[in-house]
Chain A
Amino acid sequence: MPKQYAMIIDLNRCVGCHACAIACRAEWDVPVPNQRNWVKRLGPAQTSKGLSYTYYPGLCNHCKDPACVKVCPADVRSMTFTDKETGKTVTQEVAATWKDPFTGAVLIDKNHCIGCGMCVEACPYGARYLNEKLEKADKCTFCVERLEKGLEPACVQTCLAKARIFGDMNDSNSEVAQYIKKGAKGITSAAVNIGPNVYYYGKERDIELLFNKCAPQKMPQASVGERRKLLARMIKGVLPIA
């Protein structure tokens, strides 16, 4: 079975130190105030299961059905993906962003990206940003570039709590799969259920607070008209026509 990379956030271990967010910023030169990786502090607040003081360490969910991929207006090209382990290849039509068929990572071709920000608007989790300086969309890559060099994702490496566990959820022996089996959950709601692959594990009260505060309640909708508006915004101030 092809891999699906996934990340576990174990809130029982997390101490909310924000190292993951900063290590990612350094690793990928993410400008302030943008973020590929963030920590939000939640509470202390009352839940139905008692008092909770927990954290939302967030990143791209590399969703099963990624809303961001569908909206990319860049030219579609044919791209051949290769499974690094079996050598098997698949050719697909992709725009500037896609979901890798062999790893499940949602990635961007920066050189092909037109910087329109459509994907940024489309993500219900706010996991993408537009790098204003480069005029390119950017987001977490699960550090596939580091994985290729035999390194862990930057956020995982720096985590003193071992609260971030990375692996292939399709491998039932992986720690990630074990966590999912014992109840780690992606952040979803009735309206937003696109198969997030970052899974949160913790006490019931902490999960309750996390979902109450952080589960997106609406899928962003962008019409063709809005796409045009976004593009117009991109060139505003350059020509008087926008």
Chain B
Amino acid sequence: MAEITRRHFLQAAALAAASIPLSRAIKVYAEEKKPDFVPKGSFEDTQSIAGGVCEMCFWRCQLVGKVRNGRLVKLEGNPKSIDNGKAICARGNAGIMLAYDANRLKYPMKNIGERGNPKWQRISWEEALDECGKRLKAVLDKYGPQGISMFPHGASAKYPMDFFETVVGTPNISEASFFQCRGVRDQAYLTTYGHTCDENVDMANAKVIFLTGSHLGENIHVSHTMSYLKGLENGAKLIVIDPRFSAAASKADIWIPIRPGTDTALLLAIMNHLITKGLYDKAFVQANCTGFEEFKKACSLWPAKKAAKECDVPEAQIIKIAELLAQNAPNVAIHPGRFSSWYGNDFQRIRALACLTALLGAYKVPGGFTNPISPKTGSIKWKDAAEPDEKINMAEKWPFHPPGTPTDAIRNAGITGKPYPIKATVIWGQNIVQTIPNQAMTIEFLKKQDFVLCVDVMPTDVTMYADILLPEPTYLERYDVIKKGGKLSTNGPDKQYIAARMPIVTPLHDVKDSIFITNEIAKRMGFERHIPVQNQEEYVNKILEPAGLSLEKLRAENGVHIEESTKKAYRNGNELEFETPSGKIELFSKELAEKGFAGAPAYTPPPKRPAGYAHLLFGRVPVHSFTRTQNNLWLHNEMPENALWINDKMAAKMGIKDGDRVKLVNQDGLTSATDTVVLVTPGIKTDAVFLPHGYGMRNPMLEIAKDKGMDDQSLCSANCVDPHTGTHGIRTNFVRLVKDGKTISFPI
């Protein structure tokens, strides 16, 4: 029995003795409670610390922290920001729970068990760094720089990435942001326009916003979403192409539930209609584009009627979209997308988006493909740095690859030893087990290494495979990234801003920042003379210097420096220059054709869906980023598992009800380790299911996230690689349901 306190006694006595009025007993109870029960709020007795830059995702909103007695109590948008302003998203608000996550990596550890089934032993930083230096050096001496690979992600991984690439000399660097996400998009725009794109199309000033497979509203980038909403507020028509009734589709004027993977055919049909009806911007195309005739021919392969059949979209809808775009050109935002590693035919699809933009003249105009101009800052170069030896570079097989080497080539080399062995791997902030398709191959690769180093803030599924596991400070406790950008104006000068990440609180635990860790490893590998900076502050100050700024100056400006742009991002007139081989926008690219690819956008159908299976579509929920946030108590509480969307007609035929629990089995016979809840909905094509990404983590160190929801990536065993870029196509997997141990096929 618990201790009987006086107040409980009185209370119970009151209840027992009915003669004593209840209210009197309660009064005694209430008066006994002396502590202040009123929560203080974030504004009482707190200090506001500006200079934070969020990294709950990579949009990097500018923050202020409210700190009481050294403890962070709340994060808010920096009111000085012209980017996100006072707003931040759910993840940004929950950043506190990353800093105070009980399962954070707290000190260096050595795996004295096996990779994948680790037993962790705490070791000193000295021992950990000695071990890293010694073992990386051993691989370097025996196998050369190509014997090492690196998988970086996030701002803190940039400095060590540069070290491994330009000092150690390995080309085997694979960033998930390029090879499993947006690299294919960047390369397609680069090939077409001579410069890459980002997500900042000018939706705020658009008359039509055109989205293909977008996660707007489900992957929240604050200022990006604000721009989209501003456009809608101003009356922009919204067209959404998606097999799923997404958050964006729910706001759309026209939703096109397309057959998965057929988007390129639809885009070609739209462009064919614009050309054959003379609805495109002839003056712009004539002045700025090359290869129109070849391009026209390529589009003519997909008349609306044929595309309608291929895409499962009414022909009239295709024509309606084309005409709506033409009527509102050039103020139309053809969104290049963000996550683009879809079906392995992605380069050509995004080329089609880039060309559609050009056909409509929607380049550097209000509402069009107009990236704001960012201010210039510097960069840090390691001393006597050099590019890796071309002879050891596997990437050239994919002539349009983004920076680094395709993940697939690295993983194959690690497994087969061809064209050369890869024996040491450094994984910095990236969870390659849940990022790269075909988990079994990734695990085999990891097991074949002589040495695996992981550096992160939190345990993830890949950290189970580390030999040495090092803890970094969170983004709230360190200096690193410079966030910069611009803001377009239709009636005055554009604006630009620079913010640098500065700590809001002092680091908890025995963690070290990436500058320290990298320098110490460099010293131990014999590269001390190459070290360019001694600490985080020096690193950031050197990058700020060319902009006439420093950490001190930024602090004095409340964390954000804002200035007027000297140039306008919108174009003035029709005569433009492009840094492509032809100096024009390449509707047809000779370079592509010479290298054996379609020079004008061409449609390749996605892998055929086997009968009885559904396309496995995956995507985002607004409370999680990749596999980085699932153990965050506050975010987990918002959406503890990832509901699987199944079409209502299919579900009825399969005997599946809303709220049922199912596992999935894929085309290769792989079954998900965990089950999840079903969402029966008319909002998805009959031949597809949708599963939010990043759940079902297996690492027992994640006490909140472990086994919650289902890991989509565990079902993505098809290893589809875009031939132009070497980037993965990940939506090329198919699934059936497993309920109560019984496999249920889709009746299609």
Q: Please list the residues of chain A having a beta carbon within 8 angstroms of any beta carbon in chain B.
A: 12-13, 15-19, 21-23, 25-29, 32-33, 39, 43-46, 51-54, 73-75, 96, 110-114, 116, 134-136, 143, 145-146, 149, 151, 154, 157-162, 206, 228, 231-232, 234-235, 237-242
Cβ of A112 to closest chain B Cβ, rounded Å? 6
Give B684's nearest chain A residue, CB to CB.
Answer: A44
A114 touches B12 (CB 8 A): no
By a CB distance below 8 angstroms, the chain A residues around B681 are 43-45
Q: B37, A235: Cβ atoms under 8 Å?
A: no
B37 contacts which of A73, A111, A157, A234 (Cβ < 8 Å)?
Answer: A111
Q: Which of B11, B30, B77, B96 contacts A111 (CB 8 A)?
A: B30
Report which residue of B4, B26, B96 has the largest number of chain A beta carbons within 10 angstroms of its beta carbon: B26
Task: Report how far A111 CA is from B41 CA in the complex, Å.
Answer: 17
CB pair B26 A114 closer than 8 Å: yes
- In the docked arrangement, what's the CA distance between A96 and B226, Å? 41
Give complex CA distance A44, B682 in Å: 7
Given A26-B73, A53-B245, A235 and B12 contact (CB-CB distance below 8 Å): yes
Contact of A13 among B8, B15, B229 (CB under 8 A): B229
Is A161 touching B23 in the complex (CB atoms < 8 A)?
A: no
Q: In the complex, identify which listed stretch (B86-94, B414-422, B695-703) lies at the interface while the others stay far away.
A: B86-94
Residues of chain B contacted by A51 (CB below 8 angstroms) = 245, 250, 682-683
Q: Is the CB of B23 within 8 A of A136?
A: no
Q: Given A12-B232, A26-B73, A111-B33, list of 7 further CB < 8 A pairs? A: A33-B637, A45-B683, A114-B26, A134-B37, A149-B43, A162-B229, A239-B9
Please tell me if the beta carbons of B37 and A25 are within 8 angstroms of each other in the complex: no
Assess the B247–A15 pair: CB atoms within 8 A.
yes
Interface residues of B (CB under 8 A from A): 1-2, 4-5, 8-9, 11-12, 15-16, 22-24, 26-27, 29-30, 33, 36-43, 73-77, 84, 86-90, 92-94, 96, 216-217, 220, 222, 225-226, 229, 232-233, 245-247, 249-251, 622-623, 633-635, 637-639, 681-684
CB contacts (< 8 Å) of A143 on chain B: these are: 41
A27–B44 CA distance with the chains assembled, in angstroms:
11
A-B contact pairs, 18 of them (CB 8 A): A13-B233, A16-B217, A16-B622, A17-B623, A18-B623, A26-B94, A53-B245, A73-B26, A74-B23, A96-B30, A149-B43, A157-B87, A161-B226, A235-B11, A238-B1, A238-B8, A238-B12, A239-B12
Among the listed A32, A116, A136, A232, which residue makes an inter-chain contact with B633, where contact means beta carbons less than 8 Å apart?
A32
Of B2, B42, B217, B634, the contact of A17 (CB 8 Å cutoff): B217
B622 and A15 contacting across the interface, CB-CB below 8 Å: yes
Contacts of B639 in A (CB 8 A): 18
Which B residues are in CB contact (< 8 Å) with A54? 250
Q: How far is the CA of A234 from the CA of B77 in the complex (A)?
A: 41
Q: How far is the CB of B299 from chain A (nearest CB, A)?
A: 31
- Residue pair A145, B41 in contact (C-beta under 8 Å): yes
B93 touches A22 (CB 8 A): yes
Residue among A45, A116, A159 having the largest count of chain B Cβ atoms under 10 Å: A45
Chain B nearest Cβ from A162, distance in angstroms: 8
A15 touches B4 (CB 8 A): no
Contact status A114-B30, CB under 8 Å = yes
Are A74's CB and B30's CB within 8 A?
A: yes
State whether B74 touches A27 (Cβ < 8 A). Answer: yes
Between A21, A22, A54, the greatest number of chain B beta carbons within 10 A of the residue's beta carbon is seen for A22
Known: A74-B23, A75-B27, A113-B30. A26 touches B96 (CB 8 A): yes
Given contacts A134-B37, A146-B43, A160-B226, contact A242 B633 (CB under 8 A): no
With A15-B229, A22-B93 as given contacts, are A158 and B77 in contact (CB-CB < 8 Å)? yes
Which A-chain residue is minimally distant from B248 (CB atoms)? A15
The answer to whether B38 and A53 touch across the interface, beta carbons within 8 angstroms, is no
Pick from A110, A151, A232, A234: contact of B38, CB below 8 A.
A110
Q: Is the CB of A16 within 8 A of B247?
A: yes
Determine whether the beta carbon of B89 is less than 8 Å from that of A17. yes
When C-beta atoms are compared, the residue in chain A nearest to B704 turns out to be A32
Check B247 against A23 for contact (C-beta < 8 Å): no
Please tell me if the beta carbons of B622 and A17 are within 8 angstroms of each other in the complex: yes
Question: Interface centre among B2, B8, B637, by most A CB within 10 Å?
Answer: B637
Contacts of A39 in B (CB 8 A): 638
On whether A21 and B638 interact (CB within 8 A), knowing A113-B30, A113-B37, A238-B4, the answer reads yes
Q: Name the residue on B nearest A77 (C-beta).
A: B27
Question: A-B pairs with the 6 shortest C-beta distances?
Answer: A44-B683, A110-B37, A15-B217, A22-B93, A53-B250, A18-B90
